[in-house]
Chains A and B, each alone.
Chain A
């Protein structure tokens, strides 16, 4: 079974530029999560999708971050414009569905550096 795929793996941009991350979840997984992990901290949930609908985006800074999951499969997370404090690893995870399983499967993450 193929795991969660993410790209790019690394990205360096200047502040005020824009950036986009892509995630392909495990086939058949209905729930998709985007997390932000700052160095020395645990992952923080940014947004949760169930199929192509948003379940929770309460911690997504909507003035600069946006995310979509077209057709209930792949997802993109965008930051525009980026700030220095956005430097972090962005993790995508998927699961069969909330309530069906507790386990989330993670991709390798995208390390973003904003200079």
Chain B
């Protein structure tokens, strides 16, 4: 029973264009969502987060959008750069402050 789903295992985007990574969740009680970025042979690193009381949070080239009615969030990267090539994980925080993770989306930025 996956509570957090990332349905695209991989995504290829041209350098300079927009990358959009999607995430769906099933538990309406989640009140905080995070995106992590992971390079090979390294642990995940925090990228950006959003509270359930907001619908948008922006940090430089990264913007996260939350649609609570659809139980959907997305991460936008504009413009995409070669260093953005990594695996991106969506995670939701439950009432015990524990993270429930999606399976990840591998983003490939083509030069």
Contact = CB atoms under 8 A, between A and B. Distances in A.
Query: Is the pairing of A and B real?
Result: yes
B25 interface: no
A44 B101 contact: yes
Interface string A76-114: 000000000000000101000011001111111100000
Given A102-B32, A102-B34, A103-B34, A43 B44 contact: yes
Given A42-B89, A42-B103, A103 B98 contact: no
A45 B96 CA distance: 12
Contact of B49 (A42, A99, A102): A102
A45 B4 CA distance: 14
A19 interface: no
Secondary structure at the A interface, as helix, strand, loop or mixed, is: loop
A13 interface: no
A111 to B, nearest CB: 8
Interface in B39-93: 41-46, 49, 89, 91, 93
B41 A40 contact: no
A94 B101 CA distance: 16
B97 A108 contact: no
A102 B103 CA distance: 20
Interface of A: 4, 9, 40-45, 48, 55-56, 91, 93, 98-99, 102-109
Which 5 interchain pairs have the tightest Cβ spacing? A42-B101, A106-B43, A98-B97, A103-B46, A106-B44
